[in-house]
Structure 1
Amino acid sequence: MKITLRKTLSIIKKIVIGFMLVSVFLILLMRWVNPFCSMLMVERKIAHWNISQQRTWKDWDQISDNIKIAVIAAEDQNFADHWGFDFKAINRALIYNQKNRKIRGASTITQQVAKNIFLWSSRSWIRKGVESWFTVWIEVIWSKQRTLEIYLNSVEWGEGIFGIEAASRHYFNVSANQLTPYQASLLAATLPNPRKWSPANPDDKIQKKAEWIRGQMSNLGGKNYLKQLN
Structure 2
Amino acid sequence: MEGLLKLKRRHFNVLTTALCALAAAGSSGLTHAQAAAAADPIVLVVGDSLSAEYGLKRGTGWVALMTERLQQEKVRARVVNASISGDTTSGGRSRLPALLKQHKPAYVVIELGGNDALRGLPMSMTRENLTTMVRASREAGAKVLLLAIEVPPNYGGKYAQEFREVFTTVAKAEKTALVSSFLKGVADTPDPTALFQADRIHPNESAQATMRDNVWPELRKLLASR
**TM-score scaled by length of structure 2:** 0.28
Higher relative contact order by CA 8 Å / sep ≥ 6: 1 or 2? 1
Bigger CA radius of gyration: 2
Higher normalized helix content (fraction of residues): 1
**TM-score scaled by length of structure 1:** 0.28
